[in-house]
Structure 1
């Protein structure tokens, strides 16, 4: 009885709650080593290809650096120049114009493709493949295809509008129509987002649609009261990835217009590229890259915060 009492009231032993953990067991240490070894390629990749480039770019953004000579300390001079550079604001406008049209149109096109892929027909596998294949084509190849399609002399687009009496038009020679052509080019890559939407559609219980039909809901009401609310996680994912891709638009402008005409397709990423590799101003290009990175993070966080009001992660069964 005395020994039991001494153990229970010992000051070195907790009297209530769970025991205090003092050390890792050999088995736990072994599991930790194995886990770190298993994820070490990811850790190395993040450190070498994400964190280090960000830190190094920030350091170079505070210098004058051409890539041929040693960096020269410049402080915040590159950022002051960035604010005062009119081409920066032109590129921001062009990029926002592209993203403001390409992203929402892309979401609608991808959703329509997903609905078509989800139809209960016998040839659905063939249709899914046919609708997805264009998104596998490299963007530079699609850019060359669109150059041919909108050619003012032989392009099928001008031939089609010519049936209605429209004169031949060089759409890539006008700043506004050139941006619209590039927006149209982006829609051929909607197949990737359509697969995400298709997975979301397949995750919606059919019992919800059956219950809605019993209650007298038509297809239009079911789509906006059931399909759209339960697809909001997929919409959020595609929206964030779409914004990220929209801010980094580059290839179409580089191949189709070279930033013209009159800087009408001088997108932010293309202007960054020209400063880095055409003007040999890597310090200034790093400042542009850092601003682009911060803008992407801020937009992603803002979209995520707003999405908390309408994204539904729960599916009733």
Structure 2
């Protein structure tokens, strides 16, 4: 039976042979004696061999990140994602007692890393799929840079992404939060920022781009400075969204996304959103039903999903909504739309509500 790694081994031996011939030819060209010392040094350079005790895997990872940032190929969010994966890989080494070297990126690594992500980190399918994809991007880079000739990672298959069941607020719930009297001024600021997101569909990170200069005639003109490929988005404002902006002199009181997520849960709890809701959690082929308080499922991203859901329920065209949210891909955009029981009830009523029961005949 032919070993599944035979092609990789054959390719590697071929590269050694080619490198040997190239080094020998270079020595002849320079009238230099072709010695074992020269061959060893050259092989170490060509095949990226490291000194004893040095972790070439993470050295390469550091070089990978540095190169991408210097070339301005990544947004700050991408840098955070790759930093996060680096931390996961280092923790994986300790947790699984699996020393990471390029030669050990194989089926066993995939099995152990998958188990670590799903079991220890409690990642869902989409998070795992995204991180595995980013890891493979790094591995393709190392292959191009000749840090490795191990191509086993190419067979690592990402699970298909699933539509997650996330919460979206109704218009009445947004109104309730907006009118809620918070316990402090700091929480009032948190609440106002959240409501403004619900009324504009902006990502939390985009709120920092707002100032008095990009609001004209009740329209917010949003341009992401770090992404020249994106068009300027025009987001109309109305009485409440204008009120919130003017309240803070067109500079919204922002804190870190993590802290915003923590405090917005406190506001929802105080406003009475404490009912238990069910949701499903998917890890590849395994799906489990879990329960959590409504307020614990709310985050800054809930606001963006709320904007899209309310607009779609009002019958606004997808193209119009996407021009404001900045979505380019309809498939991704549709994952934000939350179909709830109210929407289903309205749909049935709209479709069949005009039907009447036949009049009963008298006996």
- The TM tier, using the shorter chain, reads under 0.3
Name the TM-score, length of structure 2 as normaliser. 0.19
Of Structure 1 and Structure 2, which has the larger fraction of its residues in strand?
2
Name the TM-score, length of structure 1 as normaliser. 0.21
Of Structure 1 and Structure 2, which has the larger fraction of its residues in helix?
1
